[in-house]
C-alpha cells in the first residue's frame, strides 16, 4: 500500500470531465522516491485529443479502473 494515499486507496489517479461524455481516468500519479531523501515528488504525463472541462485527482483502490471513484482529492476547472 502506498503510504501517501488514504488508508483504503492504493493509488492517486488523474481524471478529466468533458462536455461530450462521462469522466475518464487519464492515469496514475507515480511517486519519485529516492533512498535517503526527504523530498516528496511525483510525476504525471498524458496526452488527450479531448479538451477537458475539469481535471481532478482521486484516491483509488484500483489504479487501472476506467472510471474515477468518488474520493476526490483535488480538482480544477478549465476555462
Q: In a 3-state reduction of DSSP, which class is residue 59?
A: strand
Whole-number percent of the chain with pLDDT over 90: 27
Query: 37 is in which domain, residue-wise?
Result: 11-77
What is the tens place of the pLDDT at every residue in 60-74?
Answer: 888 888 888 888 889
- pLDDT of residue 34 exceeding 90, the answer is no
Residue 41 lies in a domain: yes
Q: What is the rounded average pLDDT of the residues 12-39?
A: 83
Read off the C-alpha cell for 35.
533512498
Residue 45 lies in a domain: yes
Q: Which pLDDT does position 41 carry in this prediction?
A: 80
- pLDDT of residue 1 exceeding 60, the answer is no
Residue 49 lies in a domain: yes
Q: What is the rounded average pLDDT of the residues 17-36?
A: 83
User: Exposure of 13 by Cβ count < 10 A (0-12 exposed, 13-18 middle, 19+ buried)?
Assistant: buried
* Structural domain count of the chain: 1
Residue 31 lies in a domain: yes
Amino acid at each position: 500500500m502506498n503510504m501517501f494515499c488514504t488508508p483504503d486507496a492504493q493509488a492517486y489517479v488523474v481524471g478529466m470531465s468533458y462536455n461530450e461524455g462521462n469522466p475518464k481516468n487519464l492515469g496514475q500519479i507515480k511517486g519519485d522516491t529516492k533512498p535517503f531523501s526527504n523530498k516528496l515528488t511525483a510525476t504525471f504525463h498524458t496526452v488527450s485529443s479531448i479538451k477537458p472541462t475539469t481535471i481532478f485527482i482521486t484516491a483509488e483502490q484500483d489504479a487501472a479502473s476506467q472510471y474515477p471513484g468518488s474520493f476526490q482529492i483535488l480538482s480544477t476547472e478549465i476555462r
